Structure 1
Amino acid sequence: MLPIKKAIILILCISKFGFLCSQSTEIRGKVTASSDIDRIHIINKTANRFTITNDDGEFEISASINDTILISAIQYKPLEILVTPFMIQSKFISAHLTDKITELDEVVIGKILTGDLLSDIENSDKKRDLNFYDLGIPGYTGKQKTQSERRLHEATTGSGLVPLNPILNWLSGRTKELKGQIAMENIDNAMDKTKSNLSELLFNTKVLEESKRVEFFYFVSDDPNFLPLSKLNNDLKMLEFLQKKLEEFKMQIEDD
């Protein structure tokens, strides 16, 4: 049987360890990798907390002992780190990410290309089309319009003193139809981008069966706040929005 003094010390040690395990601490971190280390996703899967790295790969996140930290980016393999007592004591985490490599069989067809676009076009059998600059004419260099945007432009512009074409299209409802089509295309593009960037992080913390995920993202895209939020290019705000929508979606499924 342990002496009373040793028993008291043991109890105090156990209590202190239990306190450390339950205590949440702000931990600094540093991510290293072969290339870009900014805007890498850092998520505490246990405590459901999220942040991103700055331009130097540094971050801060709240964590406790035995929490699981997931570090993830599209171009790197996901890395999970279990928070240890030493990390809590030092208040620092260091992580190195490995590149995602998709190996393909080497295939050489025709002439070997150098990587210089203009040079490769000139050396290939296919001749490039003449552009504005070949003819010495200044041309449009802005963002190319989609097919729907071009149709809307044609439907809403006209020539002469009275632009008859826009008036007829407005009366027939074609202009409204084209605007609606462009709005749907913008939502679809934003939804595809959101799924690509944040699906892994979202479903790592809030599980949803694979067969329901497509339905979920259409549920998200119906929210009028989705498109304006996607234009902010803020992953943190978008992830928080998706987490709230996922809770709503699960409640809706349970009610059906």
Structure 2
Amino acid sequence: MKKVYTLLLLFLTLTTISAQERQTLYAKVVNDADDKPMNAVHVVNLTTIKGVITNDKGEFEIEANPDDTLFFSFLGFKSIKVRVTNDMLKYKGSSTIRMTELAYALEKVVLTPYQLTGYLEIDAKNVPLRPNYRYRIAGLSTGYEAGEKAPGAISSVLGAIFNPADFLQNLFGKKPTQMRKLRQMKEDDKIRDLLASKFDRQMLRELLQVERVDVDEILSLCNYSKTFITNANDLQVLDAINDCYEEYKVLSRQRKK
């Protein structure tokens, strides 16, 4: 009899969990300034790492449970986070998310003239380049980007990655869950498309729970060049951090042996 009760309790527990996983949130996104629906807003559940895009009416539906965190992003608007509540799930379609437009201040742009001769071979050599150099290391599937060519560049790379406790351990060693979520982001096409169009590092910062300057420092300590750190989009940064993490794990296992 006791076994029957145990099996029944287990069945009810699994049913409850399954029901929670199947919950769907229906909501709408509007412009806070004029209440007009916003089309093509990216909505990402930071808890499950699943993303959707709003339709022409600003509506969307996404799998979510209470206390999940949703991240809303749209070009020219302030990205926001919203915590899912029981009421939002219970009263379907009644939730309205308001996004605020950003005010941009135009920066002064300085154009540097180049004297062109009209001969491609000559002009190509005169264009300033900032090459990035990567070096392969035995035992690793990819190489590290050392940045500008300079004396000691290779030794700087080797010194950094073979002393992971100095900087990588503080991030990678203490945040395995966040790193797994970063890998999950690469598997969702909608999230990949979103990251490929963004350069603000916001979603990556939310997942890693760090500031923007920390993301730049992580890339720098992983020996990515200033050119890459400045110009890479969020998807490229995601790939770079993932690569650095995978290499860190390889070296960390080797050190333990």
TM-score by length of 2: 0.46
User: Highest Rg: 1 or 2?
Assistant: 1
Q: Which has the higher contact order (CA 8 A, sep 6+)?
A: 2
TM-score by length of 1: 0.46
